[in-house]
Amino acid sequence: MAVTLKEIARRTGKSITTVSRALAGYDDVGAETKTLVRRVADELGYTPNLLAQRLQKRRSDTIGLILPTFGPRFSDPFFSEFLAGVGNMAAEHGYDLLVSTQPPGERELQVYRQKVQSRQVDGFVIVRTRRQDARIRYLREIGFPFVAFGRIEGDMDFPFVDVDGIQGMRMIGEHLIGLGHRRIACLAPPADLSFAEHRLIGLRQALATYGLELADSLVRPGDLTQKSGYQITLQLLDSVQPPTAIAACNDLMALGAMSAIQERRLIVGRDVAVTGFDDIPMAEHSHPPLTTVHQPIYQIGKTVCDMLIRLLKGLDVTPHQVILAPKLMVRQSCGANMHRFTTEKGGGVTIA
Amino acid sequence: MAVTLKEIARRTGKSITTVSRALAGYDDVGAETKTLVRRVADELGYTPNLLAQRLQKRRSDTIGLILPTFGPRFSDPFFSEFLAGVGNMAAEHGYDLLVSTQPPGERELQVYRQKVQSRQVDGFVIVRTRRQDARIRYLREIGFPFVAFGRIEGDMDFPFVDVDGIQGMRMIGEHLIGLGHRRIACLAPPADLSFAEHRLIGLRQALATYGLELADSLVRPGDLTQKSGYQITLQLLDSVQPPTAIAACNDLMALGAMSAIQERRLIVGRDVAVTGFDDIPMAEHSHPPLTTVHQPIYQIGKTVCDMLIRLLKGLDVTPHQVILAPKLMVRQSCGANMHRFTTEKGGGVTIA
DNA sequence: ACTATACACCAAAACGTTTTGGATGTCAAG
DNA sequence: CTTGACATCCAAAACGTTTTGGTGTATAGT
């Protein structure tokens, strides 16, 4: 059977109280008693029963993370990296990470409510915020602790971390325009996502600076998967006036776009430029390497989790709203650096 | 404050016992009392305190899943899909999923031990088994419930699900040989992983059937990432006698291999054939689409979790060892189906 | 000799639930 | 009027921990 405080108390001839306090290091326990208790506890391999501890302390020491999945073939390199960041930080502070998957919708909120009411978690990490985010509205309403990755529309008096999507996409836009592109298409995210808006605005800003406009026909909403990037790009390439550049709002769609372009026997970077957003590990090793905007996803996961833990511990959380500057990663899919891409070894055409 | 049984008892004028039993549906509670109690519970929005419930029931209704991550830039599409499968099945049966990340090694086992001893989880899902798997050895030793995805070396009297890697890789080998390849290189997984051995055996078997051998110099162990596939392939291409086909033991490395080949301005499928293993979502939409072996990862996640839950509930778990037949997905990276790849639309050379 | 002050300890309550082992009342049968 | 069966209810114990509010015993100060 599991070893309990009671058992240690019996063996040391002390009371349960004393044993508990000895192990916790209180100084109303004698030095000898302390060492005795600790020795016996070690010998028996005592580990406190967390369930009991949590009931008594009235907190679960658990952080909730509910992944908004879409369908069974859910596979997002973005999330696995984020998860690692959150998970490691949580573990570092002795918190558990309770992970759930639930597509956005009616039931999603139920899950949050249930976890709150049954006191299963002490706080939530919210990912992929929506412009109108029912999760955030609910949690704020009841005053339940959470930290979001991403912003929302309207009142934003809550802790979050976000990357400046406007600036990121503006950099992409300016870079593409600098390379001579004028007909730029955008593979947009679902419109209800917060970052969708930002990224579109950023792209529009870049174009506006040069007196250009983003034609509605060139803004194509996808679902963030490689497949949708692929399909939309095929359509774009088959249109009467295909774009010369495709700015995808995430890397997965950008990779799909590259596949589509290559399938049409066109050269990415030369015939059509492609850019992404996220800088997932794969971006660096795709062919050609993907020009994109770097988000330190792992680090963001850690930061978000750290902020939440500070919040839970009642510590000061400043700044409680962090907007990170994105970093443009110019590689070859945009047509810049083509010399590297073509001459390095295998010969072939050199475009200086 | 939170609503408790006590509060309901107070309001209904019944005892805590009766309230508890009424809600649980015991039939030693009068019909009227039952409805009364339920009504009041509903009105107050009662949700049982899971911490208390679990302490009393001496189980955590929680399944542990510890991801063996490597480094901070951990990003494996394989895991996110598996996670979704496990998570959904767990949720369906009212179980929580406790996710942790921990690189293999000394500390990893500590984490398992700690979760077991503190009664944080009722059972584990083990992923990416090693040939000598300390996790499995430990859990078996203490008789703690778990189900593994993957096998181990030696005594295998424990529940697991696995895909027949030998057969899968044999199919790959035979397919490549059928296409005329004789110099086949293998991008192998780290040797300590269980499936590494199986896949190499499968490939060797295929070659042996045709009186061929797998030269040691062509077996290159990687670390399963795209980056390592990329680097190893560059080395292979630069060697005196480059292979005509590269059989990667997972899709990520295969994708890296394709990048490397393309960077050398060679055509994947024509100049060098590439194959993968896993059939991650990305495989279908890479360029060219990746010939690989399909593993129903989401489904495996569900099955593994289901088996574990049955185990925990004391239900019959038969068969408790499942080996799934893999499915060869012939696409274009291997050089088959090249007509589709080249002629579909964009013109260019047709290789019938 | 009396009061402080510190020190070392502990019984009991509490956290919120489920289960155990009755208690009470009613009704029909004997 | 008893007896037994049945239906309905509940006090108390238990799960394993932490905290509260003490008690008792030296030692020091007056």
> How many Cα atoms sit within 13 Å of A88 on the Cβ side?
20
pLDDT tens, residue by residue, B215-231: 999 999 999 999 999 99
Residue ranges covered by each domain of chain B: 5-48, 62-163+299-324, 165-295+329-343
Mean pLDDT of A36-47: 96
Position A337 scores a pLDDT of 75
Please list the helix, strand and coil fractions of chain B in percent, rounded to the nearest 5, in that order. Answer: 45, 15, 40
Query: Which nucleotide has its C1' atom closest to residue B51's CA?
Result: C16
DSSP labels, A28-92 = TS-HHHHHHHHHHHHHHT----HHHHHHHHT---EEEEEE---SSS---HHHHHHHHHHHHHHHH
Bases of chain C with protein Cβ within 7 A: 7-12, 14-22
Q: Tell me if domain B62-163+299-324 and domain B165-295+329-343 are identical in fold.
A: yes
Return the sign of the alpha-carbon dihedral for residues A138, A143, A149, A154: positive
Position B339 scores a pLDDT of 54
Pairing of strands B327-329, A219-221: unpaired
pLDDT tens, residue by residue, A207-216: 999 999 999 9
Residues 6+ apart with CB under 8 A from A43: none
- Residue B348, sorted as left (phi over 0), alpha (psi -120 to 50) or beta, turns out to be left
A264/B97 CB distance under 8 A:
no
B298/A100 CB distance under 8 A:
no
Options 3.30.450.40, 3.40.50.2300, 3.40.920.10, 3.30.1490.20; CATH for A165-294+329-343 is 3.40.50.2300
What strands lie across the sheet with B123-127, from one edge to the other?
Answer: A321-324, A160-163, A146-149, A123-127, A62-67, A96-101, B96-101, B62-67, B123-127, B146-149, B160-163, B321-324
pLDDT tens, residue by residue, B160-197: 999 999 999 999 999 999 999 999 999 999 999 999 99
Residue B341 has pLDDT above 80, yes or no: no
Integer Cα distance of B151 and B67 in angstroms = 17
Asked if the C-beta of B16 comes within 8 angstroms of chain A's C-beta atoms, the answer is no
Residue B60 has pLDDT above 50, yes or no: yes
Residues 6+ apart with CB under 8 A from A272: A237, A242, A243, A244, A245, A246, A261, A266
Integer Cα distance of B53 and B51 in angstroms = 5
CATH annotation of A62-163+299-327: 3.40.50.2300
Residue B348 has pLDDT above 70, yes or no: no
CA nearest B48 in A: which residue?
Answer: A118
Q: Which of residues 206-245 of B touch A (CB under 8 A)?
A: 225-227, 229-230
Integer Cα distance of A181 and A223 in angstroms = 25
Position A343 scores a pLDDT of 35
Residues 6+ apart with CB under 8 A from B208: none
Position B29 scores a pLDDT of 94
Asked if the C-beta of A81 comes within 8 angstroms of chain B's C-beta atoms, the answer is yes
The vertex-A183 CA angle with A180 and A185, nearest 5°, equals 120
Position B73 scores a pLDDT of 74
Residue B211 has pLDDT above 70, yes or no: yes
First to last CA, chain A: 74
Contact A338, A351 (CB under 8 A): yes
Q: What are phi and psi of B202, to 5 degrees?
A: -60, -45
CA nearest neighbour of B230 among A268, A269, A295, A289: A289
Q: Is B293 helix (H, G, I), strand (E, B) or coil?
A: strand
Q: Tokens 């040989």 label which residue? A: B177
Residue B346 has pLDDT above 90, yes or no: no
CATH annotation of B165-295+329-343: 3.40.50.2300
> How distant is C1' of C30 from CA of B192, in Å?
80
pLDDT tens, residue by residue, A236-284: 999 999 999 999 999 999 999 999 999 999 999 999 999 999 999 899 9
Options 3.40.190.10, 3.40.50.1820, 3.30.379.10, 3.40.50.2300; CATH for B62-163+299-324 is 3.40.50.2300
B101/A87 CB distance under 8 A:
yes
**CA A173 centroid distance within chain:** 23
Which percentage of chain B shows pLDDT scores above 90? 88
CA nearest neighbour of B74 among A300, A336, A207, A85: A85
B17 CB and strand C closer than 7 A: yes
**CA B250 centroid distance within chain:** 12
Prior bond of B72 cis (ω within 30°): no
Pairing of strands A292-294, A327-329: antiparallel
pLDDT tens, residue by residue, B244-297: 999 999 999 999 999 999 999 999 999 999 999 999 989 999 999 999 999 999
Integer Cα distance of B188 and A328 in angstroms = 34
A101/B79 CB distance under 8 A:
no
Question: At how many degrees (to 10) do helices A134-142 and A106-117 cross?
Answer: 30
A31 CB and strand C closer than 7 A: yes
Q: Which residues of chain B neighbour A47 with C-beta distances below 8 Å?
A: 114, 117-118
Q: Residue B113: in which H helix or E strand, if any?
A: helix B106-117
Q: B217: which DSSP letter? A: G
DSSP labels, B237-288 = HHSSS--SEEEESSHHHHHHHHHHHHHTTPPBTTTBEEE-SB--HHHHTSSS
Which residue in B84, B118, B265 is closest to A49 by CB distance?
Answer: B118
Which percentage of chain B shows pLDDT scores above 70? 96
Residue A342 has pLDDT above 50, yes or no: no
Mean pLDDT of A166-176: 97
Integer Cα distance of B342 and B348 in angstroms = 7
Position B351 scores a pLDDT of 32
Asked if the C-beta of B166 comes within 8 angstroms of chain A's C-beta atoms, the answer is no
- Which residue type sits at A270? R
The vertex-A252 CA angle with A298 and A160, nearest 5°, equals 40
pLDDT tens, residue by residue, B26-54: 999 999 999 999 999 999 999 999 999 99
Residue B337 has pLDDT above 80, yes or no: no
Position A78 scores a pLDDT of 84
Burial class for B240, CB neighbours closer than 10 Å (0-12, 13-18, 19+): exposed
Which range (A204-213, B306-315, B336-345) has the least confidence? B336-345
Which residue in B98, B265, B342 is closest to A96 by CB distance?
Answer: B98
Pairing of strands B184-188, B245-248: parallel
Residue A350 has pLDDT above 60, yes or no: no
Asked if the C-beta of A267 comes within 8 angstroms of chain B's C-beta atoms, the answer is no
Position A339 scores a pLDDT of 54
Q: Which residues of chain B neighbour A84 with C-beta distances below 8 Å?
A: 67, 69, 72, 74, 101
B28 CB and strand C closer than 7 A: yes
Cα distances from A281 to residues B70, B216, B231, B238, in angstroms, run 13, 30, 14, 24
Contact B109, B133 (CB under 8 A): no
CATH annotation of B5-48: 1.10.260.40
B307 CB and strand C closer than 7 A: no
Asked if the C-beta of B97 comes within 8 angstroms of chain A's C-beta atoms, the answer is yes
Asked if the C-beta of B294 comes within 8 angstroms of chain A's C-beta atoms, the answer is no
Residues 6+ apart with CB under 8 A from A273: A176, A179, A181, A244, A245, A246, A291, A333, A334, A335
Integer Cα distance of B214 and B272 in angstroms = 17
Residue B212 has pLDDT above 50, yes or no: yes
Cα distances from A337 to residues A245, A305, A333, B123, B157, in angstroms, run 16, 37, 9, 52, 56
Position A349 scores a pLDDT of 33
pLDDT tens, residue by residue, A173-192: 999 999 999 999 999 999 99
pLDDT classification of B76: cutoffs 50, 70, 90? confident
Residue B344 has pLDDT above 70, yes or no: no
Position B74 scores a pLDDT of 77
Q: A326: which DSSP letter? A: P
CA nearest A268 in B: which residue?
Answer: B287
pLDDT classification of A114: cutoffs 50, 70, 90? very high
Position A262 scores a pLDDT of 93
Bases of chain D with protein Cβ within 7 A: 7-12, 14-22
Cα distances from A349 to residues A345, B52, B265, B346, in angstroms, run 11, 71, 10, 20
Mean pLDDT, chain A, whole residue set:
92
